[in-house]
Amino acid sequence: MRSLVEAKTRLRMSADNPHIQSLKQAGYRLTQARLTVLEVLEAERGHITSADVLQKVERINPAIGRASVFRTLELFTQLGFIRPTYIHTSATPTYVMMHGGHHHHVICTECKRFFEFDNCGMEALTNNLQRELDVQISGHLLEFYGVCADCRGPDRAERRT
């Protein structure tokens, strides 16, 4: 039974996955905990709380303990795969995937919906910061807040000003 689960995990996480490459390059072993947490994070394409990660990992492989899931989330944060953000509450972080070192979204402060976007146009600012602060920048997390069209409604949209 156990080997069946493991074989399935290996199949789904291909060796040319960039995060698996980074783990190997940094000298980390590809343990079941690391592979399974990675699989869960990638399937969510971004936003997921640690509680949800725990639940989904348990469903895939109940042999992986809570402590190793938390250690793996710590490691992935250190390696820059994910970043914790505190959106709805400061108690439980929501992890976001840092694809290629960046992540951007707009949050509706009313319905808490996320609007992800790809083009950040941050190159000029990144270059300026690197020069001015003499910091080698490896990524960014960009978070905008606002009220979406649905939440404004037809009436509220008209008398916005």
- Residues at the contact surface with Zn ion, assessed by CB under 5 A: 96, 102, 105, 108, 110-111, 116, 120, 122, 148, 151
Residue length, the chain? 161
Of the two residues 7 and 111, which places its CB atom closer to Zn ion in the complex? 111
CB of 8 to Zn ion, least distance (A): 28
The smaller minimum CB distance to Zn ion, of residues 34 and 105, is found at 105
Q: Which is nearer to Zn ion, 79 or 151 (CB)?
A: 151
* Nearer of residues 74 and 110 to Zn ion, judged by Cβ: 110
Say if strands 94-97 and 82-85 run parallel, antiparallel, or are unpaired: antiparallel
Owner of token pair 């042999």:
63
Backbone angles phi, psi at 122, to 5 degrees: -95, 5
**In whole angstroms, how close is the CB of 151 to Zn ion at the nearest point?**
3
Q: How far is the CB of 144 from Zn ion (least distance, A)?
A: 10
Q: How many CB atoms lie within 10 A of CB 49?
A: 18
Rounded distance, CA 148 to CA 42, Å?
27
> At closest approach, how far in Å is the CB of 114 from Zn ion?
5
Q: Is 115 helix (H, G, I), strand (E, B) or coil?
A: strand
